[in-house]
Amino acid sequence: MENQSNSKQNQQEHTFTEGLSFEGFRQIMKKFANDRDWNQYHTPRNLLLAFTGEVGELCELFQWKGEVSEGLPEFSEEEKIRVGEEMADCLAYLTRLADQCKIDLTQAILRKMEMNAKKYPVEKCKGKSDKYTSYQEMKEQPQGENQQNQQEQLNIQQQQPEQKIE
């Protein structure tokens, strides 16, 4: 009986607690910095360094564990809490960084997800993890010339990443 309810729980979709938007979190972090007179330290470069430091702390928790599974069954409850804390620190600094750079993070996320959907159409990439460049359509060319042209196109795309999805 207990096993049945456990497996039912495992099948349930994992969700985040509702009620916090990116704008809400921006305001929380802004107030946190304002209250402490820390805007003077929260410069873009400092925040970027702090962010990467926290990414490092998150990586440290996974270091030497080998591959871990969905839901982190290999981690203790305490370790899982630490994982959440480090993720929160990463997001806190990223949110502050976006704010201090005057980037609308909500808009940037929505725009980027739309770009991703166009770049990785379901019908072309379902079940495949290839980079989008591997299935981009190439103009019909005679053999040999086509290969050279593909390499040239890849080189151009690598130099101009913002034009990749057009």
Under the binding rule (CB under 6 A), the answer on residue 39 touching ligand DCP is: no
- Residues binding ligand DCP: what is the number (CB under 6 A)? 7
Under the binding rule (CB under 6 A), the answer on residue 83 touching ligand DCP is: no
CA distance 89 to 57: 9
Inter-residue contact 131 to 82 (CB < 8 Å): no
Under the binding rule (CB under 6 A), the answer on residue 38 touching ligand DCP is: yes
Under the binding rule (CB under 6 A), the answer on residue 104 touching ligand DCP is: no
Under the binding rule (CB under 6 A), the answer on residue 61 touching ligand DCP is: no
Residue choice 23, 39, 41, 84 for contact with ligand DCP (CB under 6 A)? 41
Under the binding rule (CB under 6 A), the answer on residue 105 touching ligand DCP is: no
23: enclosing H helix or E strand:
helix 22-35
CA distance 153 to 160: 11
Residues that bind ligand DCP (CB under 6 A): 32, 38, 41, 57, 89, 92-93
